[in-house]
């Protein structure tokens, strides 16, 4: 089986062992279950329960709050492994881990103690509620309002494309606390919103049907006079939400980039196997130059993307600003994944186009990484602006 080499990564014994466990979990439990849930777009409850048992929801949550306290390099490699089996499974952990990151980094001590241990146990499974029907990449123009009323904030607004919002039990919600702020980004705050039971005014309006990324709940949700305790305002100070969420998105870009590497890797693995078995014109098709061009390019691009992911993850682990690197990794890896999944489909020919093989799933999942977590068009603007700022004359 084709796997990228982890030998030169200088991983510790525990990092290696965690990855070995994830690989076994992916092979033994995730892969065999994909066909059961993916085609019918069914949520894989038993797999999520297993992920809880294995402690995957606490991967990067600090140990003092019940998590495993793992670094972002391991985090990226775990996302790659899971995505090589089924990208949607990585999605269950994706925004959950970003929400946990934001709380761990910006929350008050009381908030960390109240939320993180339950998040690590997978009891409080979270997501991010940022995007609105008319505010995606342009986060600053969101309309959801949070008005202070006594000891609570009252939330009103609609959020869309919210992953984990039906089957999860919590969300980090970005809302405007000061709509008149001269700089809109300073008028926003982030709230921890729990919805494990019925919450008056909160509704999951619609499950959004998608091209790929199936099995996972992506929904439109609405807040109508929903009361959130004031002590759930992240960090306890209004106006910090935009900054908090943006920092979380650096982690998000690393995880999306790592998913792209995983999906492309799986596509190459399938193509390598097929190209040695399928014979045409008297030899395995892998011996034909036309197929070799595709395989070689795929390998080189996957390795390159992975190095970018690890580069960004290491920078994040050193506590440095990593938006440029994470953005570059996300941009490159997701575009790479789009190309590679299509190219590997060419290797499999007609079979690659059928649902008898996994390739068409990789191909359908790939655009999620191009569009999600900030479209690549926006990503390029962010990268360019950051470059111009960093190297200003």
Partner 1 sequence: MVIGPFDLNALEVAVRLKERYGAQVTALTLGSGKAKDALRRALAMGADAAVLVDDGQMAPKEPSVATRALAAAVRKLGGLDLVLCGRQSGEWDFGQVGALLAEELGMPFVPFVPRLEASGDGWRLEREVEGGLLVVDVSGPCVASITNATDNQPRLPKVKDIMMANRKPIQVWGPVELGLGEEDVGEAANRLEVLELFIPEVKSECEFVEGDDGAAKGAALARKLWDRKVI
1 binds partner 1 (CB under 8 A): no
84 binds partner 1 (CB under 8 A): no
Residue 152, beta-bridge partner list = 149, 229
Q: Would you say 61 or 154 has its CB closer to partner 1?
A: 61
Q: What is the largest CA-CA distance in the chain?
A: 79
Among 33, 47, 48, 56, binds partner 1 (CB under 8 A): 56
139 binds partner 1 (CB under 8 A): no
Among 30, 33, 34, 70, binds partner 1 (CB under 8 A): 70
Q: Would you say 9 or 381 has its CB closer to partner 1?
A: 9
Among 9, 11, 54, 304, binds partner 1 (CB under 8 A): 54
- Residue 257 structure tokens: 């980039």
Q: Would you say 28 or 380 has its CB closer to partner 1?
A: 28
**DSSP, res 161:** E
Q: Which stretch binds partner 1 (CB under 8 A): 20-28, 164-172, 220-228, 236-244?
A: 20-28
69 binds partner 1 (CB under 8 A): yes
The 10 Å Cβ neighbour count of residue 22 is 22
Per DSSP, the residues of 306-323 read HHHHHHHHHHHHTT---H
Count interface residues toward partner 1 (CB under 8 A). 21
Distance CA 244, CA 252 (A): 13
Backbone torsion region of residue 163, taken as left when φ is above 0, otherwise alpha when ψ lies between -120 and 50, otherwise beta: beta
Alpha helices in 13-86 (DSSP H): 13-25, 31-37, 45-54, 72-85
Is residue 85 a contact partner of residue 31, using CB atoms and an 8 Å limit?
yes
Q: Which stretch binds partner 1 (CB under 8 A): 1-9, 61-69, 123-131, 269-277?
A: 61-69
**Residues 328, 316, 373, 106, Cα dihedral to 10°:** -150
Footprint (CB under 8 A) of partner 1, residues 347-376: none
Q: Would you say 25 or 363 has its CB closer to partner 1?
A: 25
117 binds partner 1 (CB under 8 A): no
- Residue 361 structure tokens: 């799933």
Is residue 162 a contact partner of residue 152, using CB atoms and an 8 Å limit?
no
59 binds partner 1 (CB under 8 A): yes
Q: Would you say 96 or 361 has its CB closer to partner 1?
A: 96
Phi, psi at residue 236, to the nearest 5°? 80, 0
Is residue 273 a contact partner of residue 91, using CB atoms and an 8 Å limit?
no
Q: To the nearest whole angstrom, how small is the minimum distance from the Cβ of residue 9 to partner 1? A: 16
Burial class (CB in 10 A: 0-12, 13-18, 19+), 268: buried
239 binds partner 1 (CB under 8 A): no
Q: Would you say 13 or 290 has its CB closer to partner 1?
A: 13
Q: Would you say 112 or 176 has its CB closer to partner 1?
A: 112
* CA–centroid distance for 198 within its chain: 27
Interface mask (CB under 8 A) for partner 1, residues 290-309, using x and -?
--------------------
Catalytic residue among 194, 238, 373, 377: 373
Instruction: Output Rg (C-alpha) for the chain, integer angstroms.
Output: 21
68 binds partner 1 (CB under 8 A): yes
Does 373 qualify as catalytic in the annotation? yes
Q: To the nearest whole angstrom, how small is the minimum distance from the Cβ of residue 144 to partner 1? A: 34
Among 21, 181, 230, 371, binds partner 1 (CB under 8 A): 21
Q: Would you say 29 or 178 has its CB closer to partner 1?
A: 29
Interface mask (CB under 8 A) for partner 1, residues 22-51, using x and -?
--xx--x-----------------------
Distance CA 2, CA 272 (A): 8
Q: Tokens 């290491």 identify what position?
A: 314
382 binds partner 1 (CB under 8 A): no
Is residue 336 a contact partner of residue 287, using CB atoms and an 8 Å limit?
no
64 binds partner 1 (CB under 8 A): no
Chain residues that interact with partner 1, rule: CB under 8 A: 12-14, 16-18, 20-21, 24-25, 28, 53-56, 58-59, 63, 68-70
């Amino acid at each position: 089986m084709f796997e990228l080499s982890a030998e030169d990564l200088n991983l510790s014994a525990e990092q290696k062992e965690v990855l070995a466990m994830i690989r076994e979990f992916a092979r033994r439990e995730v892969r065999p279950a994909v066909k059961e849930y993916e085609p019918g777009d069914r949520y894989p409850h038993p797999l999520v329960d297993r992920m809880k048992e294995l402690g995957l929801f606490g991967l990067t949550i600090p140990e003092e709050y019940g998590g495993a306290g793992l670094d972002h390099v391991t985090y990226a490699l775990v996302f790659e492994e899971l995505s090589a089996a089924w990208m949607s499974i990585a999605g269950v952990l994706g925004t959950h881990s970003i929400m946990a990151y934001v709380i761990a980094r910006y929350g008050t001590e009381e908030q960390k103690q109240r939320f993180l241990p339950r998040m690590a146990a997978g009891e409080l499974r979270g997501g991010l509620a940022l995007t609105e029907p008319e505010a995606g990449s342009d986060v600053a123009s969101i309309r959801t309002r949070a008005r202070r009323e006594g000891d609570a904030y009252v939330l009103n607004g609609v959020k869309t494309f919210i992953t984990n919002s039906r089957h999860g039990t919590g969300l980090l919600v970005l809302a405007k606390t000061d709509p008149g702020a001269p700089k809109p980004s300073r008028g926003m705050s982030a709230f921890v919103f729990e919805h494990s039971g019925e919450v008056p005014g909160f509704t999951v309006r619609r499950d959004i049907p998608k091209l790929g990324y199936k099995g996972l709940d992506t929904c439109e949700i609405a807040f109508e006079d929903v009361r959130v305790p004031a002590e759930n305002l992240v960090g306890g100070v209004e106006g910090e939400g935009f900054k908090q969420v943006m920092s979380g998105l650096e982690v998000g870009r690393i995880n999306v980039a790592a998913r792209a590497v995983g999906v492309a890797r799986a596509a190459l693995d399938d193509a390598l196997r097929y190209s040695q078995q399928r014979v045409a014109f008297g030899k395995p098709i892998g011996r034909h130059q036309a197929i070799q061009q595709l395989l070689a390019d795929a390998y080189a691009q996957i390795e390159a993307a992975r190095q970018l992911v690890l580069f960004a993850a290491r920078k994040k682990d050193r506590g440095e600003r990593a938006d440029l690197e994470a953005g570059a990794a996300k941009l490159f890896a997701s575009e790479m994944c789009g190309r590679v999944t299509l190219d590997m489909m060419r290797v499999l020919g007609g079979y690659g186009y059928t649902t008898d093989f996994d390739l068409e799933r990789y191909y359908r999942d790939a655009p999620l990484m191009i569009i999600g977590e900030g479209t690549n068009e926006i990503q390029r603007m962010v990268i360019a602006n950051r470059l111009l700022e960093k190297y200003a004359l």
